[in-house]
Structure 1
Amino acid sequence: MHNSADRQLAENSRAVTVLVITSFIMFLNETLMGVALPTLMAELKITPVTGQWLTTGFLLTMSVVIPITGILIQRVTTKRLYYFAAGTFLIGTALCAFAPSFVFLLIGRIVQAVGTAIISPLLLTVVVTVIPAAVRGRFMGRISAVMSLAPAIGPAVSGLLLSVLGWRALFLVVLPIATVVAILGVVLLRNVGETKPVSIDVLSVVLAALGFSMTVYGLSQLGEAATHQQPIPPWLPILIGVITIALLCARQLRLLRLGKQPLLDLRVFQSRVYRIALAIIGINMMALFAVVILLPIFAVRVLGLEPLQIGLILLPGGILMGVLGLFVGRLVDRFGSRPLLLPGMLTTACALLLLAFVVGENTQGWQLLLTNMLLSFGLGLSFTPLFSAGLGALKSELASYGTAIYSTVQQVAGAAGTAVAVTIYSLVFAAASGDIAGVDPAATASGTATAELLAAEVTAVRAAFLTSSGLALTGFLLALFMRERTQQSS
């Protein structure tokens, strides 16, 4: 009996490993485009606003597809859903690699986003379903490692490929690797759980697509609107999105009362642990994106650093967070989530506070590197316990909906974190300097930037980091009220 259980765990572990590797490739691909935008704009002769749609279109597609994955996992077998996700990603990557124009490149990115949106909730659902609670933490640690490592190395990989082979190499290199991993998935992956002939409420799908896409779009435009006039004020799509999401929630509750299948089963929010974990994950994503966006801006405009130097400053923190996830998962299995989550959130808040006072006109690169590593340490201690405790608190039939909502909140919180950070930065800079354009990096490099403008830049970045520190402290206070309750057994 014991040997049979060990063999089953080994088989499940191989399947999860394939999904983790697939997720890593997709997450890495998601981060490659930022560094490549200037090159693409020059070669394809497009404006910055047009080029930004390669990122915005990807995020909007993710925000539309992710909420639907909960019910898709109920209806479609694991293997078929994996085949669709991997196949869609491969088709999108091929379209991007051989795109003759910007339009085809954008279509390819959107197709890629469909596969990427499915794989993350699928991975989490498989782990929660087939991995025993006693060892689930180490598998959640692997997921946290992938989520941390891919964004950390993405800019460096992108910069290297761009400088040596050109922008098409971003996709030509990914394509064969993703193909091999997809083949491994065909061989090693097995179906998990039983499918159910559940119906899909079309009105809920429409409301989810409109609500989340409008919210993410509006948030993505909010920071830009602080410094540039927008044809559509960003509060309008945000308002439409929030109202539509409220209607979506009302629709889901009505379907539950009628005994029908909702698109998003809101019974997941009956779990206090899940609610708190979800809120803290949103807070952490907002804090993380604030640093990812503003630290490079500060380093370029105030310190005059090059993109490669900035990448090297951020890289050790991302690697530390990824490696830490592997060890934290085992500690969660042994001690539970709370003993790791509390010091993790407190470290995150302190690191952001320290970062706010580290930034200055004479800041050294090593100071940013060490402070970012401290922040990464705190986040690395936090993410795995949050995934493990929150999803572990749900009944098995709610797991797929819980993972879909987790992934949706990550997308929305990332967009919100960027919007809040850039808006605070822009407004404080404008108030401190009377200017809204920011410091010209060329002026910093040549030493012609005025002391007043540099001081205003520091003040603006500091204000954003202080706000992020306050958010993280709120997350720590929430963590004090979280008591772990595992609903699912092996």
Structure 2
Amino acid sequence: MEATSGIGTQNERNNFKVFPIMISLLISGFIGMFSETALNIALSELMTVLEITPATAQWLTTGYLLTLGILVPVSGLLLQWFTTRQLFVASLIFSIVGTLVAALAPTFEVLLTARVLQAAGTGLLLPLMFNTILIIFPAEKRGAAMGIIGLVIMFAPAVGPTFAGLMIEHLSWHWIFWVSLPFLVLALLCGILYMQNVSTITKPRIDLLSILLSTVGFGGIVFGFSKAGEGTEGWGSTLVIVSLAVGVASLILFSWRQLTMKQPMMNLRVFKYPMFVVGLLMVFICMMIILSSMLVLPLYLQKGLALSAFSAGLVMLPGGILNGIMSPLMGALFDKYGPRWLVIPGLALVGVVLWFLTGVTTASTLSLIIVLHSCLMIGISMIMMPAQTNGLNQLPQSLYPDGTAIMNTLQQVAGAIGTAVAVSILTRGTDAYLKASADPANPGELAKAMTAGSQDAFMFGVIVTAAGLLVAFFLKRVRVDKDAARGPMH
């Protein structure tokens, strides 16, 4: 049940101002995640206002994911070349400029450019956030710290759709960004005043071929899976097949190059640590479940149960808030008991909930959906941060930038895969129902078709969860030498 930590003796610690550093990271992280999910529920409104097709509107999400997929893998290198303050300020400037451009955007092209700028800010911020937490907190307190980060990361997507629905109903979609702007400026000022340089600058050699292979590899996979969930061709599209093939081939070459270099851009030796690998698989599976269910459930609520965007957001709000509240609690329980007794029951709970969701109908009550979604979010909070923190705890400090970069990169890949597969299954199930229907144009039949597709998509979630449960039995608690982990801070 025990695993040995590779942390060893850490670098001498400064007297970090933990509270203001955390405030800066939390505000910027919250607004970054809020902006990402709030726009999703405004897509139908944007299609009407900007006169664009659903496939074109999807690029607002695809472009965002693609930018993250390209930038996040390079973040490990950036963390070793630039100071914490420099990267934090750069991420906030990208986010502020992107948010301002989005708030003023008169056309789709300008809005897409704004989304890319926002994604650049988020792509710099997420790895920086996790790397900073690993350095400023001793190992035995990281669970609680990661739990607070989890509160922010999960609470923002919860309130995003509800708030966006309210803005669209009473003002306009532009206000989603206008409201975010002052908070980003506040986070920037807080960071300029209080953010400290916590990481060690080593300035490893920049290998342009590695950057190119990483960009083409991760970008190709995220793009391919994102495109597979769009349009009528789906997985049979030549563009999708070529993108995935080029992406996989580039990643194989990238991995081979990293393993043969003396100073790799992304140190793949992190995969020698078994609990990091198990934690990585848990996070990957968790992100597939979260993003696929957060895509399917609103569609079922709006097209299966005929709810408005605002009402659908309200139905999902209690679960999101509950998930945010539970994250710090699960972090504290992780510090005390380890990950195994949280992750395995959490996966079991998620599996049961998704199994119940495979039986939803057009007559299902909103109270049932709220309870099921809330239980799903509790289960997710029991899995995500404990598994992630346990895995990162096993790495030596020199590998923190690489570990956080790999974990954040694969979260984007998992999101692209999860949503693409879920959309494909949803579409296939919907079409199959309508083909067998005697009156496919009837609104009631359309609602039942969407429900049938949703049931199939939730079954995909059950299968993914079952795979995660098998992996979870290999999970062992990483024991950290507290004296080595504490340093002079204590």
Q: Which residue of structure 2 aligns with residue 356 of structure 1?
A: 358
Asked if structure 2 preserves the Cα contact closer than 8 Å seen for 1:394 and 1:486, the reply is no
Q: Which residue of structure 2 aligns with residue 327 of structure 1?
A: 329
Q: Which one of the candidate residues 461, 472, 477 is aligned to 1:479?
A: 472
Q: Which residue of structure 2 aligns with residue 342 of structure 1?
A: 344
Match runs of 1:60-99 below 5 Å? 60-99=66-105
- TM-score by structure 2 length? 0.91
Letter in 2 for 1:175: L
For residues 177-201 of structure 1, the C-alpha deviation after alignment (integer angstroms, 9 at most, x for no partner) is: 1101110011111001320121111
Q: Which residue of structure 1 aligns with residue 297 of structure 2?
A: 295
Q: Which residue of structure 1 aligns with residue 170 of structure 2?
A: 164
Say if 1:435 and 1:167 are closer, same or farther in 2 by CA, change over 3 A. farther
Asked if structure 2 preserves the Cα contact closer than 8 Å seen for 1:16 and 1:126, the reply is no
Asked if structure 2 preserves the Cα contact closer than 8 Å seen for 1:341 and 1:385, the reply is yes
Asked if structure 2 preserves the Cα contact closer than 8 Å seen for 1:226 and 1:426, the reply is no
The alpha-carbon deviation at position 230 of structure 1 amounts to 8.1
Say if 1:439 and 1:220 are closer, same or farther in 2 by CA, change over 3 A. farther
Say if 1:486 and 1:29 are closer, same or farther in 2 by CA, change over 3 A. farther
For residues 165-184 of structure 1, the C-alpha deviation after alignment (integer angstroms, 9 at most, x for no partner) is: 32222222211211011100
Say if 1:32 and 1:432 are closer, same or farther in 2 by CA, change over 3 A. closer
Is 1:244 the counterpart of 2:250? The answer is yes
Alpha-carbon distance in structure 1 between the residues aligned to 2:324 and 2:393: 22
The alpha-carbon deviation at position 393 of structure 1 amounts to 1.1
- TM-score by structure 1 length? 0.91
Q: Which one of the candidate residues 187, 194, 200 is aligned to 2:193?
A: 187
Say if 1:366 and 1:439 are closer, same or farther in 2 by CA, change over 3 A. farther
Alpha-carbon distance in structure 1 between the residues aligned to 2:235 and 2:128: 40
Say if 1:433 and 1:36 are closer, same or farther in 2 by CA, change over 3 A. closer
Say if 1:463 and 1:36 are closer, same or farther in 2 by CA, change over 3 A. closer
Asked if structure 2 preserves the Cα contact closer than 8 Å seen for 1:225 and 1:233, the reply is no
Asked if structure 1 preserves the Cα contact closer than 8 Å seen for 2:145 and 2:331, the reply is yes
Say if 1:228 and 1:478 are closer, same or farther in 2 by CA, change over 3 A. closer
Q: Which residue of structure 2 aligns with residue 424 of structure 1?
A: 425
Q: Which residue of structure 2 aligns with residue 370 of structure 1?
A: 371
The alpha-carbon deviation at position 489 of structure 1 amounts to 1.5
Say if 1:227 and 1:312 are closer, same or farther in 2 by CA, change over 3 A. farther
Match runs of 1:253-264 below 5 Å? 253-255=259-261, 259=262, 261-264=263-266
Q: Which one of the candidate residues 196, 201, 208 is aligned to 2:202?
A: 196
Q: Which residue of structure 2 aligns with residue 266 of structure 1?
A: 268
Is 1:462 the counterpart of 2:455? The answer is yes
For residues 131-178 of structure 1, the C-alpha deviation after alignment (integer angstroms, 9 at most, x for no partner) is: 001111110001111121111111111122223332222222211211
The alpha-carbon deviation at position 362 of structure 1 amounts to 1.6
The alpha-carbon deviation at position 226 of structure 1 amounts to 5.3
Q: Which residue of structure 2 aligns with residue 394 of structure 1?
A: 395
Say if 1:162 and 1:461 are closer, same or farther in 2 by CA, change over 3 A. closer
Structure 1 segments (4+ residues) deviating >6 Å: 227-231
Letter in 2 for 1:60: L
Asked if structure 2 preserves the Cα contact closer than 8 Å seen for 1:252 and 1:262, the reply is yes
The alpha-carbon deviation at position 388 of structure 1 amounts to 1.1
The alpha-carbon deviation at position 225 of structure 1 amounts to 4.5
* SS of residue paired to 1:485: strand
List gaps (5 residues or longer) in structure 1. none
Alpha-carbon distance in structure 1 between the residues aligned to 2:367 and 2:314: 10
The alpha-carbon deviation at position 92 of structure 1 amounts to 1.4
The alpha-carbon deviation at position 51 of structure 1 amounts to 2.5
Alpha-carbon distance in structure 2 between the residues aligned to 1:281 and 1:74: 24
Letter in 1 for 2:477: E
Higher relative contact order (CA 8 A, sep 6+): 2
Alpha-carbon distance in structure 1 between the residues aligned to 2:44 and 2:449: 27
Letter in 2 for 1:15: I
For residues 410-440 of structure 1, the C-alpha deviation after alignment (integer angstroms, 9 at most, x for no partner) is: 111111111111212222333444279x977
* SS of residue paired to 1:323: helix
Alpha-carbon distance in structure 1 between the residues aligned to 2:14 and 2:267: 34
Asked if structure 2 preserves the Cα contact closer than 8 Å seen for 1:70 and 1:264, the reply is yes
Alpha-carbon distance in structure 2 between the residues aligned to 1:44 and 1:431: 32
Alpha-carbon distance in structure 2 between the residues aligned to 1:127 and 1:103: 37
Asked if structure 2 preserves the Cα contact closer than 8 Å seen for 1:227 and 1:426, the reply is no
Match runs of 1:109-148 below 5 Å? 109-148=115-154
